[in-house]
A and B are shown apart, each in its own frame.
Chain A
Amino acid sequence: MKQLYTFVKKEFYHVFRDRKTLLMLFGVPIAQIILFGFALTNEIKGSKIIVVDYAKDVASQQLITRIGASKYFEVEKSFADHNQIEDAFKQGKIKLAVIIPQNFNDDILHFNKAQVQVIADASDPNTATTLTNYITNIVSDYQSSLTPNQKIPYRIVPQIRMLYNPELKGAPNFVPGVMALVLMLVCTMMTSIAIVREKEMGTMEVLLVSPFKPVFVIISKAIPYLLLSIINLIIILLLSVFVLNLPIKGNIFLLFGASTLFILTSLSIGLIISTVTTSQQSAMMASLMGMMLPTMLLTGFMFPVENMPVPLQVLSNIVPSRWYYIIIKNVMIKGLGFSAIWKETLILTGMTLLLLGLSLRNFKNRLA
Chain B
Amino acid sequence: MTEPVIKTEKLTKRFGDFIAVNEISFETYPGEIFGFLGANGAGKTTAMRMLCGLSIPTSGKATVAGFDVYRYPEKIKKNIGYMSQKFSLYEDLTVTENIRFYAGIYGLSDRDIKEKSAALINQLGLQNEAKTLVASLPLGWKQKLAFSVAIIHQPKIVFLDEPTGGVDPVTRRQFWDLIYDAADKGVTVFVTTHYMDEAEYCNRISIMVDGRIDAMDTPANLKKQFSANSMDEVFYHLARSAKRSAD
> How many angstroms from the CA of A7 to the CA of B92 in the assembled complex?
14
When the two chains form their complex, are residues A210 and B93 in contact, meaning their CB atoms are under 8 A apart? no
Residue pair B107, A3 in contact (C-beta under 8 Å): yes
Q: Which of A6, A18, A201, A367 contacts B101 (CB 8 A)?
A: A6
Q: Which segment of A9-17, A105-113, A314-322 sits at the interface?
A: A9-17
Residue of A nearest to B113 (CB): A6
A79-111 interface mask toward B, CB cutoff 8 Å, 1 = contact, 0 = none? 000000000000000000000000000000000
Q: Are A209 and B82 in contact (CB under 8 A)?
A: yes
Which chain B residues numbered 96 to 139 have a C-beta less than 8 Å away from chain A? 97, 100-102, 104-107
Residue in A closest to B81 when the chains form the complex, CB atoms: A209
Q: Which residues of A contact B82 (CB under 8 A)?
A: 205-206, 209-210
| Candidate in A14, A367, A368 with the most chain B CB atoms within 10 angstroms | A367
Which residues on the B side are within 8 Å of A208 (C-beta)?
54
Query: Which residues of A in the span 209-228 have a Cβ within 8 Å of any Cβ on B?
Result: 209-212
Q: A18 — which chain B residues lie within 8 A by C-beta? A: 92
In the complex, how many angstroms separate the beta carbon of B108 from the nearest chain A beta carbon? 9
Asked if A155 is at the interface (CB within 8 A of a chain B CB), the reply is no
Interface assignment of A158: CB less than 8 Å from any CB of chain B? no
A211 to B106, CA, bound (A): 6
Given A6-B100, A209-B80, A368-B56, the answer on whether A201 and B88 have CB atoms closer than 8 Å is: yes
Q: Does B77 contact A (CB under 8 A)?
A: yes
- In A238-263, which residues have CB < 8 Å from any B CB? none
Instruction: Return chain A residues, CB-CB under 8 Å to B97.
Output: 10, 13
Q: Which of A7, A17, A206, A367 has the most CB of B within 10 A?
A: A206
Contacts of A367 in B (CB 8 A): 54-55
> Secondary structure of the B side of the interface?
loop
Decide if B54 touches A209 in the complex (CB within 8 Å): yes
Closest to A7 in B: B105
Chain A residue numbers with a CB within 8 Å of B224 are none
- Find residues 1-42 in chain A having any chain B CB closer than 8 Å to their own CB: 2-3, 6-7, 10, 13-14, 17-18
Contact B101 A210, beta carbon cutoff 8 Å: no
Q: Is B203 an interface residue (CB 8 A)?
A: no
**Chain A positions 157 through 174: 1 when the CB is less than 8 Å from some CB of chain B, otherwise 0:** 000000000000000000
Q: Does A203 contact B (CB under 8 A)?
A: yes
* Interface-centre pick from B55, B105, B107 (highest chain A CB count, 10 A): B105
A residues in contact with B88, CB < 8 Å? 201-203, 205-206
Residues on B with beta carbons closer than 8 Å to the beta carbon of A205 = 54, 82, 84, 88
The reply on A293 being an interface residue by CB < 8 A is no
B172 to chain A, nearest CB (A): 19
Nearest chain A residue, comparing its CB with the CB of B83: A206
Q: In this assembly, does B52 line the interface, its C-beta being within 8 Å of a C-beta of chain A?
A: yes
Q: Which of B200-221 contact A (CB under 8 A)?
A: none
Are A209 and B101 in contact, CB atoms less than 8 angstroms apart? no
State A62–B74 Cα separation when bound (angstroms).
87
Contact partner of A209 (CB less than 8 A), chosen from B77, B86, B92, is B77
Find the A residue at minimum CB distance from B90.
Answer: A203
Residues A10 and B84 in contact, CB atoms below 8 Å apart: no
Chain B residue at minimum C-beta to C-beta distance from A366: B54
- Shortest Cβ distance from A162 into chain B, in angstroms? 51
B window 64-101: CB within 8 A of A: 74, 77-78, 80, 82-93, 97, 100-101
Which residues of B sit under 8 angstroms from A17, Cβ to Cβ? Answer: 92
Residue ID in chain B nearest A13 by CB atoms:
B93
A202-B84, A205-B88 known; A6-B104 Cβ under 8 A: yes
| Complexed CA–CA distance, A2 and B111 (Å) | 13
Cβ contacts under 8 Å, B52 to chain A: 209
B84 touches A14 (CB 8 A): no
Taken together as a complex, chains A and B put the C-alpha atoms of A14 and B83 apart, in Å, by: 21
Asked if A202 meets B106 with Cβ closer than 8 Å, knowing A209-B54, A368-B56, the reply is no
CB-contact partner of A3 in B53, B86, B104, under 8 A: B104
Cα A210 to Cα B84 with chains together (Å): 13
Closest CB of chain B to A119's CB: distance in Å? Answer: 62
Contacting pair A14 B92 (CB below 8 A): yes
The interface residues of chain B lying within 8 Å CB-to-CB of A10 are 90, 93, 97, 101
User: Which residues from B are CB-within-8-Å of A2?
Assistant: 104, 107
Partner of B53, one of A13, A202, A209: A209
Cβ contacts under 8 Å, A7 to chain B: 101, 104-105
New A-B pairs, 15, CB < 8 Å, besides A17-B92, A211-B106: A3-B104, A3-B107, A14-B93, A201-B91, A203-B86, A203-B88, A205-B82, A206-B83, A206-B88, A208-B54, A209-B52, A210-B102, A210-B106, A211-B74, A211-B78
Between A and B, 13 residue pairs with Cβ closer than 8 Å are A3-B104, A6-B105, A7-B105, A13-B92, A201-B86, A202-B84, A202-B85, A205-B54, A205-B84, A210-B77, A210-B106, A211-B74, A212-B106
Q: Which residues of B contact A (CB under 8 A)?
A: 52-56, 74, 77-78, 80, 82-93, 97, 100-102, 104-107, 150, 159
Q: Interface residues, chain A, CB within 8 Å of chain B?
A: 2-3, 6-7, 10, 13-14, 17-18, 201-203, 205-212, 367-368
The 4 A-B residue pairs whose C-beta atoms are closest, nearest first, are: A202-B86, A6-B104, A209-B82, A206-B88
